[in-house]
Structure 1
Amino acid sequence: MSDSRQGVIACDGFNLQYRIEGEGRPVLVVGSALYYPRCFSGNLRHHLKLAFMDHRGFAPGNACPDKSQYALPLLLNDIERVRSELGLGQVTILGHSGHGFMALEYAKAYPQNVSHVVMLNVAPDYSPAGHAAAERYLDESVCPERKALLAQNMAKLPAAIAAAPDKAFVTYCLLTGPKSWFDPTFDASHLWQGVETNMTMFDHVWGEVFRDIDITRGLDALDRPVFLGLGRHDFLVPPPWRWEAVREKFRDLTIRVFERSSHAPFLEEPALFDAELLGWLNR
């Protein structure tokens, strides 16, 4: 039967929103319980029970400035708390962009509660070398309209962040749209409507934890299949070839690169994305 629930689960003083939609095997989507339900297709909800959850960086009303509260083990514990309280049983854990790291590390920490791992539009790390590769990938691509729009937006970025520093993460995501959407003119503001962010969390986790992460640690013990979905025109994160250095360390890794997508193939090519994901899960 189709499940449709929403609410809040308190984790150490952080109120994590959740939203459950659809029917079928449970997929726990880590990130924002407001943003991500707007991104996945209605068709997918006929096959999967999608449980969207906030992490602490998206928890409404969160003004905590203590970065120790955003340590990765705490974030993983929150995922487990939500999974358990929602009674989801064994789940497919899904993370997009930096949340892909959270999904993989959760599977390592709680393998008994995971059947499959889905990582979307993420690189093996967010190191300086990786970001430099992303800049080269864009610079060497022949896409003058994309580059012109990006330059215009980047000129606006400092003033936009200064005007609303608490919204710096969302502002950055919106103004880097030419890097992250196949259509460089796409306006993603409706996806972010009502989403709150804590910049201490994002600065620490994206700027430090994911910069230094070693995803190969513990991979030898992970026997769950992993699906890695990437976009050919994704210039927001390091390019797909960065995975060559680590792909052989996975026991069971399936990579799919979507040709007419950037940073969100589930929204940009939903029919193809749904077919690839469901086909992989059913295999």
Structure 2
Amino acid sequence: MYGPRRIGSVTCGIPPFAPRRLTWRQARTENPMRLPTICIPLALALAACAQPAAREQAAAPAATPAPAASVALAPGERRIKASDGAELYLKVAGRGPVCMLIHGGPGQGSLSTEKMGADKLEDFLTMVWFDQRGSGKSPDAQDYHLDRVVQDFEDARQALGVDKMCLIAHSFGGILAVEYAKRYPQHVSKLVMANTTLHFLGPENSRMQIDFVNRVLGKQAVKVAADADDAALAKARDEARAALMKSGNGYRFLSETTDSIKVMGEIDGGYARSRGFGNAIFDENAKYPEYMADYTADSAAVTQPVLVIAGSKDYAVGPDEHKRFRFPNQKVVVLDGGHISYYENNAEFVGAIREFMAER
């Protein structure tokens, strides 16, 4: 993800009213463990330069997914053209019903999710590891509006020749997946919402993180009025992040240990990644206000079966964020872990999806 003084996969979740808003480019030049504001409560990387510790992943419990009508896709990497001419990267691997990853960030890319244990889904799913425009191996583009990004998923579906696919969303990707499912319900079979949010950097997130920091530090490091408006909440949240980072515990928004962050850093730092999506959302946030809206109400329009996977110690999106969701046909699984459940709780994560996909 970065060298000794570089963060390559970090997206800085600092709203426009923050007292100091780091751009992505500024964040890459600073020591991540000393940042005055914590970069990304919702992206998948905070940082550590050390070599990753070895980690064994338990095998997922055996189960046989229910038969599903799906086209046999040729495995391998490919590049397709979106309807506006932008180039998009994807990789097909596995067997079974077709599922597309909707990664988080914004701008994270799919590779670290795939390589940190989510590739075990390929045992029973045909996974489409898709990099959103300006993310991972998909080049930067001109347009990053929500409508355009959601259309990219539809363009990819058509290019693959798939009638229906399931969506597996992580973190910020939850907003994108819900919007796709709402606009193209006829092409979505099921939806997995893993450690997702439907209100990116909203006031709920601010209060949750402020409370969390005060608990970790054992004192009321940051005070905020009960009737504080969104701007005041965001300012207090940034102060809380800075305090936790200064204490050396900034990684705890994502995980209880630095292990998963180190592993992610090694993977994301191992190739040249596009960063246009993240740059656009955070450096030009006034141009893309739709990403800061609350999409909770939209979840009520998604009638397909939905598996919600939450982390009891996920202080990026919040351990209770999933309780705001309104999917009419949802199943909730709460794992004893943080934001990166596909790695830290791999056996349970894969097992829950395997069981969900087997349900008729």
- The TM-score normalised by the length of structure 1 is 0.78
Indicate the residue corresponding to 2:351 in structure 1.
Answer: 275
CA contact (8 A) 2:75 2:94 kept: yes
User: Where is the helix percentage greater, Structure 1 or Structure 2?
Assistant: 1
Give the aligned CA root-mean-square deviation in angstroms.
2.9
Say yes or no: does 1:29 pair with 2:106: no
CA contact (8 A) 1:7 1:19 kept: yes
CA contact (8 A) 2:310 2:322 kept: no
Amino acid of the structure 1 residue aligned with 2:353: L
* Higher Cα radius of gyration: 2
Amino acid of the structure 1 residue aligned with 2:266: H
Indicate the residue corresponding to 1:5 in structure 2.
Answer: 76
Alpha-carbon distance in 2 for matches of 1:266, 1:232: 14
Q: Structure 1 residues 276, 205: closer, same or farther in 2, change over 3 A?
A: farther
Say yes or no: does 1:197 pair with 2:272: no
CA contact (8 A) 1:60 1:197 kept: no
Indicate the residue corresponding to 1:169 in structure 2.
Answer: none
Query: How far is 1:181 from its partner?
Result: 2.3
Alpha-carbon distance in 2 for matches of 1:270, 1:182: 15
Amino acid of the structure 2 residue aligned with 1:115: S
Q: Any stretches of 5+ residues in structure 1 without a counterpart?
A: 155-175
**Cα shift readout 1:151-202 (whole Å, capped 9, x = no counterpart):** 2669xxxxxxxxxxxxxxxxxxxxx543212323541212313232114333
Alpha-carbon distance in 2 for matches of 1:205, 1:274: 35
Amino acid of the structure 2 residue aligned with 1:282: A
CA contact (8 A) 2:308 2:322 kept: no
Query: How far is 1:264 from its partner?
Result: 1.2
Q: Structure 1 residues 220, 37: closer, same or farther in 2, change over 3 A?
A: closer
Q: Structure 1 residues 130, 82: closer, same or farther in 2, change over 3 A?
A: same
Alpha-carbon distance in 1 for matches of 2:170, 2:123: 21
Q: Structure 1 residues 6, 266: closer, same or farther in 2, change over 3 A?
A: same
Larger relative contact order (C-alpha < 8 A, sep ≥ 6)?
Answer: 2
Alpha-carbon distance in 1 for matches of 2:243, 2:210: 16
Say yes or no: does 1:215 pair with 2:278: no
Indicate the residue corresponding to 1:18 in structure 2.
Answer: 90
Alpha-carbon distance in 1 for matches of 2:316, 2:156: 29
Amino acid of the structure 2 residue aligned with 1:196: S
CA contact (8 A) 2:181 2:188 kept: yes
**Matched positions, count:** 253
Indicate the residue corresponding to 2:122 in structure 1.
Answer: 45
Indicate the residue corresponding to 2:255 in structure 1.
Answer: 181
Q: Any stretches of 5+ residues in structure 2 without a counterpart?
A: 1-71, 104-108, 219-241
Indicate the residue corresponding to 2:329 in structure 1.
Answer: 252
Q: Structure 1 residues 272, 191: closer, same or farther in 2, change over 3 A?
A: same
Say yes or no: does 1:119 pair with 2:193: yes
**Cα shift readout 1:240-267 (whole Å, capped 9, x = no counterpart):** 32443x34x32112121110x2111111
Query: How far is 1:81 from its partner?
Result: 0.5
CA contact (8 A) 1:29 1:53 kept: yes
Choose 39-48 or 266-275, whichever is displaced more. Answer: 39-48
Query: How far is 1:232 from its partner?
Result: 1.6
Q: Structure 1 residues 276, 9: closer, same or farther in 2, change over 3 A?
A: same
